[in-house]
Every structure is written in structure tokens, then in C-alpha cells.
Amino acid sequence: MAHDGETYRHWRMEEDDDRIVWLTFDRAEKSVNALCREVLEELDRVLDDISRRSPAGVVFRSGKKSGFIAGADITEFTGLADSAAALALIERGQAILGRIELLAAPTVSLIHGFCLGGGLELALACRYRIAADIPATQLGLPEVKLGIHPGFGGTVRLTRLIGPLAAMDLILTGRNVDARKARKIGLVDYAVPERHLENAARATILHAPFPVKPGFLPALCSTWFMRPLLAGYLRRTVARRAAKKHYPAPYAVIDLWERFGGNAAAMFREEAGSVANLITGDSARNLVRVFLLQERLKSLGRRGASEPCSIHVVGGGTMGGDIAAWCALQGLRVSVQDVDAARLANVVKRAATLFRKNLRDPRLAEAALDRLIPDIKGDGIARADIVIEAIFEDAAAKRELYRQCEPRMRGDALLATNTSSIPLEELAEALEHPERLVGLHFFNPVAKMQLVEVVRGAKTQQEAVDTATAFAGAIRRLPLPVASSPGFLVNRTLMPYLLEAVIMETEGIPAAEIDRAAVDFGMPMGPLLLADTVGLDICLSVARILSRHFAVEIPTRLEELVAAGHLGRKSGQGFYTYEGQKQVATEARNGRGTSGGIVERLILRLLNEAVACRRAGVVADADLVDAGMVFGTGFAPFRGGPLHYARAEGAAAIHGRLTALAERYGSRFTPDIGWEEILTDAEGKT
């Protein structure tokens, strides 16, 4: 292959004997390809170069093993001062990708690994797309998850290529598809084994087949009289998942298509304007913030110690069983111990469902099941790199278990407890080697909640913390380092919010109304339904542990429900009634409180406790409080986390509202002294 002409920092250009230009994107000094300003400007010069050469064809490919292109460079979003600056950047990106489409020679994108956002938009500007048929190949437009929508021409080219319904499905959900699915919906022309990629590209360029075109039905859906009908349907579908006031992006893209779907030039123009507006709005700024927080936790998980490969879990309840299944799904060998054989059978049954859902290939699902070993006698303890204890929340029972386990463990193995609120010092007493005890607090459901609190006790060695953190990263969870104080970060901050909901329900405000107010604020589930789902006995136990250390009043109503055996979803009755796992529908009646009043009481208690955790150093800084609450509880991501929300609303205003609530309802609303620091910071900035 000839290599001549200009040299570039991020792109490599080679021309072969067939006069095909192979253009490799290999972003300098980064592990992942993303389209930053500098990369795009360089691409513009590369395209000048290519036009001068008049090649037989151009192949775009990636020099990174990890994948093709991860999209526009998200880190540049935060530097956009206003929507005019955003518009200039987006229009420039559109224009450069537009030049690919206008090249006279046939163009092909060779896709392996992830091909997301702006990366897929670049591929869409090519005449053909060929994807490696491997599990790592994932194509998608995840922009809505960042509060925006495709802006480099993706809304126009994708609807044209695969029809508006399939295109809107990808754009509005932000979901990825693998190579085969992409082939099926016409997103790529061919899905081929990885070793055939180059040959497939060469053959495509030399034979230049007619590109795939959508059929009659997609064309019909794009007509002026069908678009309003379909747009209405799409809006109703989106409304079931996301409210417009919190997540404007999907609604903006539907509007865009409805109004301009018949006119490509107008749609390019309006697409850029729409993204420029969204990207500088609160929702997108906060969702980008959440993405960057996630990257911060991910990078903690990548640091340090070697990855463990053999795990033993003690306790085959919901948490123990789900932790074991998740580890096996991630490729680790796991033994799971419980005295009750029926419970172990249930663990395996639930795991089989998880494997089937996540690993579509039945052989892979079977291999995962082979890695999960039910172990009544605990033989796996002696082999394990990490023993995870996940029995019920009783300090004495845990200590007794440790006395039995420790002598059977390898000298270099780690003991991790999944306790949700007991300080490690209370448990470490039972151990010869307390330096090996660490907390690994997973959240329910394990497969969905990304956070794991990694708890360091007074005697825990740094090495043990590092191993536990790397383990959480290796099993694709987000490790959050927390101090060993009661309830750690998440349960301590969440509990006042849950208890305030119980108090309001006792006052006569209907449960459904309280929950609806929280969901309306942006929580994924109302506090009372959450309490029912977690189990009221578990909530009560956490509340009792917290009440031994902090001024937490436990509402009598919670004690009474538990005493009566009403434990929530699992017993069929809690704040709501259930038939099997399904909630029996309840109509929200008009209660005494207004929705605004309900939200204020709920959220301000949560914010106050978040401030207390920050002040007490439960985590290292305010961003980690926000990350913990978003990834551990689903706290309204478009608000950027509780402390960020408090700052955005104005710390002084929130402090004032807390003081007023304390006068009306009592000391549980008294502002924590941690607010002083936030107020001083805020004053310094004004």
C-alpha cells in the first residue's frame, strides 16, 4: 500500500493498488475514538486531499481495538458558552460529514465494536456500511440519554435509510443494535465475520451494488398526511417513559420530523438549531454531568489491583443470589452457599432467566450457568479470592458467620459484606484479620442498579479497598468509595425521604398521591412503592440502625405494618395491596396536602441528609454524593444529583425553606450545619 501526501495527527491515509483509499481514524493520545473539533477539522483537510486524488473508493475504519467511533466528544459540550456557539460547532460538523456524502467515489464504513452517536452519523454519510458480526459490535444513537438528539445529519439520513418508524425507534430510545439486527433493519448493508471485513469492503467498492433502499411503507410513513398521525403516536409512546418538562429531547426530534420530514434541506438546518437549543438547556447539561460522573466512577474501577476470578457468596436470598448470578454473567466462577436447598434452587432459576435475557446465544447462557455452583456446605470458601457475605441484616448473626468462615478462607482472600447500613467496626470484632474486611454494598435489583458502595472500615487495609474497587469495576458496576458510617451514603440519605413519606401517609395523604408527587419530581418510583418493593421489614431494620446513631424518628405506622406481617410486595400487603407481584390499582384521591408541599417535604429531607453526609466526609466530595444518589437510587438524573440541584435552586432559598419547615413540623427539618459551607461558597461566587 502506498502511503503518501500529508500526514495527520488523528487520521491515517493509505492508497492501495486498486486506488482505494483506506482512511483509518486513530485519535491521538486517547483510547477511544470520538469526534472532537480538532478531529473534524482534520477530517475536512483529509477530504480535500481525497478529492484531489479521485480514488476508486474510500474506506473509513478505526485504528482502535475498542470500536469504531463513540460519537461526538462529550467533554467538549460543557465548554459551549451559548446556543450560538453550539450552533456553529454543529453546523460545522454537519458540513464536514456532508462532504463525505458528496464524494464522487463509493464510500464504505467498516464497523467493529461500538459505533455510536456522531460515529454512526459519519457511517450514515457513507454510501455503504459493513459491520463485523461480533457481540462487541453495537450501533446506536444514544444522544437522547444526554438530553439532545443527533445533530450531524443523523435524523435526516437515518429516516431516509431505514424509514421513519425504525429510525425514530432508535433515536427515541437511544438503544443499540448488534450487527445482525442492524443488517435486518437495513442500517448496515452487510454483517460479516471480522476476518472478512477488508475483502467485503474491497468487493463492495469494486462492484458498487445498488445501495439498499427502504420499501413502499416507509416512504408512505414520510408523507405530509401520515407524519402528524405517526408523530402523535410517537409522542404518546414517549410520554409513557419520559415527561416533556424533564426530557425535552425526544419531543423535539418528533416535532422536527413532523414539521420538516418532507424537506431534507430544511430538516438539516432545523436539526442543527434544535440540538443547539437543547445542548445548552438544563436537562442536557445535567445529563452530560451525570455521564461524566459515571466516567469518574468507571475510572476508579479500572485502577489498581489484579482482578479476582473466583467468588464465593454466602446467603442465597434475593441479594446474595442476584450478586452471584451477576458475577457469573460477567464471566467469574461463583459458588453460592445457603443451608436451604430450595433457596439455592431458586437462585439458579432466577440466574437462568437473567442469562437467557442477557446472553441471547443459548450456549453462552449454559456456560454462565456452569460457572454458578450451588454450594450447601461452603466448599467454595477455601478457593475464593473474595467471599461475599449477603445474609440478613443482623450484626450478631454476621459475626457468628465470620467466626466460622475466616479459618476456612485463603490467607490472601478478601471478606466482603453486603451490609446496607451496619458500620464495619461492629462486624470486624469477630475477625482475626479485620484488615481483610471490606464492605461491598450492592443495590436491588443488582442487574439494574449500577452502584456498589465500597466501604472502608477503621481497620481495613488500603490493598483490600483497592481489590474490592477493582472487582466492582471488573463486574461492570460503578464503585463508590464510602466511609464506614451507619447507612453509608445511599441508605442514610434515602431513609429520611422514605420516612417523611410514611409520616405524610399517616397524616392522611393518600399513598398514591405522595408517590405521584415524587415521580413528578423525577424519581423513578415513589417512596412508598419503593419501601413496599424493598420490604418494610428491611426498611424498618435500616431505620432502627440509623436511629441508634442519628436523630431518626421511626413512624409508628411503619412499626405497626411490620408487626402485622404487612411487609410490602413480598407479603401481598404494605402501603399498597398486591396480587402475586402485581400491584392492585389504587386511585389517587384528593388528599390534604398539595403536590408541591409533598415534594418539598420529601426532597428537602433528602437534600438535608445529603449535605450532612458531605459535611461528615462519608464520601470525598459533593460530586460523589450526587453520583451515589443518581446511580444508587435513580435520583432524577436530569437534575444532576441532589447537591447540584440544591446549588441550582439556590442554597440560601433551600436553607430558608428548611428553617420554615422546621418551625412547622419540628426538628427533623432543622438545616444541617453543612449548609453553612455551601452558603459561604455560593456567596463567594456572587
- Residues noted as catalytic: 441
Site string for ligand COA, 423-452 (x = CB under 6 A): ------------------------------
- Which of 39/319 has CB closer to ligand COA? 39
Q: What does the alpha-carbon distance between residue 95 and residue 118 come to, in Å, rounded to a whole number?
A: 13
Pick from 5, 197, 208: nearest CA to 103 = 208
- Which of 142/641 has CB closer to ligand COA? 142
- Which of 299/306 has CB closer to ligand COA? 299
Q: What does the alpha-carbon distance between residue 49 and residue 1 come to, in Å, rounded to a whole number?
A: 17
- Which of 117/439 has CB closer to ligand COA? 117
SS3 call for 544: helix
Pick from 190, 193, 154: nearest CA to 171 = 154
Inter-axis angle of helices 536-547 and 556-563, to 10 degrees?
Answer: 130
* Closest separation in Å from C-beta 612 to ligand COA: 31
CA 577, distance to chain mean position in Å, is: 31
Residue with cell 400487603: 573
- Which of 209/331 has CB closer to ligand COA? 331
* Closest separation in Å from C-beta 295 to ligand COA: 4
Residues 73-92 that bind ligand COA (CB under 6 A): 73-75
Using rule CB under 6 A, residue 299 touches ligand COA: yes
Contact by Cβ (8 Å): 472, 479? yes
* Closest separation in Å from C-beta 610 to ligand COA: 26
Site string for ligand COA, 3-32 (x = CB under 6 A): ----------------------------xx
* Closest separation in Å from C-beta 290 to ligand COA: 11
Residue 195 one-letter amino acid: R
- Which of 287/391 has CB closer to ligand COA? 287
Other C-beta atoms within 10 Å of 208: how many? Answer: 14
* Closest separation in Å from C-beta 298 to ligand COA: 5
Q: What is the 3-state secondary structure (H, E, C) of 282-348?
A: HHHHHHHHHHHHHHHHHHHHHCCCCCCCEEEEECCCHHHHHHHHHHHHCCCEEEEECCCHHHHHHHH
- Which of 295/663 has CB closer to ligand COA? 295
* Closest separation in Å from C-beta 121 to ligand COA: 9
Backbone angles phi, psi at 131, to 5 degrees: -115, 145
Contacts of 528 (CB under 8 A, 6+ apart): 501, 502, 505, 511, 514, 515, 574, 575, 576
Using rule CB under 6 A, residue 529 touches ligand COA: no
Which three cell numbers mark 142? 444514544
DSSP per-residue letters across 608-629: HHHHHHHHHTSSSSHHHHHHHH
The window from 10-18, 65-73, 369-377, 497-505 that contacts ligand COA (CB under 6 A) reads 65-73
Pick from 215, 216, 269, 277: nearest CA to 252 = 277
- Which of 7/31 has CB closer to ligand COA? 31
State which of residues 23, 70, 437, 536 lies at the interface with ligand COA (CB under 6 A).
70
Residues 278-297 that bind ligand COA (CB under 6 A): 295
Residue with cell 425504525: 166
SS3 call for 386: strand
- Which of 75/594 has CB closer to ligand COA? 75
Pick from 506, 418, 414: nearest CA to 465 = 414
Pick from 522, 465, 446, 498: nearest CA to 606 = 498
Which three cell numbers mark 400? 457468628
* Closest separation in Å from C-beta 120 to ligand COA: 9
Q: What does the alpha-carbon distance between residue 668 and residue 134 come to, in Å, rounded to a whole number?
A: 55
The window from 66-74, 319-327, 395-403, 538-546 that contacts ligand COA (CB under 6 A) reads 66-74
* Closest separation in Å from C-beta 349 to ligand COA: 30
- Which of 122/658 has CB closer to ligand COA? 122
Q: What does the alpha-carbon distance between residue 57 and residue 282 come to, in Å, rounded to a whole number?
A: 43
Pick from 2, 74, 495: nearest CA to 296 = 74
State which of residues 13, 34, 47, 451 lies at the interface with ligand COA (CB under 6 A).
34
Contacts of 368 (CB under 8 A, 6+ apart): 328, 329, 351, 355, 359
Residues 453-512 that bind ligand COA (CB under 6 A): none
Using rule CB under 6 A, residue 71 touches ligand COA: yes
Inter-axis angle of helices 264-279 and 154-162, to 10 degrees?
Answer: 130
Q: How many residues bind ligand COA (CB under 6 A)?
A: 19
Pick from 351, 354, 365: nearest CA to 321 = 351
State which of residues 117, 434, 535, 632 lies at the interface with ligand COA (CB under 6 A).
117
* Closest separation in Å from C-beta 113 to ligand COA: 8
Residues 123-152 that bind ligand COA (CB under 6 A): 142-143, 146
Residues paired with 452 in a beta bridge: 442, 479
- Which of 638/669 has CB closer to ligand COA? 638
* Closest separation in Å from C-beta 197 to ligand COA: 20
* Closest separation in Å from C-beta 482 to ligand COA: 21
Residues paired with 13 in a beta bridge: 23
Other C-beta atoms within 10 Å of 169: how many? Answer: 16
Backbone angles phi, psi at 443, to 5 degrees: -115, 155
* C-alpha separations of 520 from 64, 189, 333, 490, 588 in Å: 43, 43, 42, 21, 14
- Catalog residues that contact ligand COA under the rule CB under 6 A: 31-32, 34, 70-75, 114, 116-118, 142-143, 146, 295, 298-299
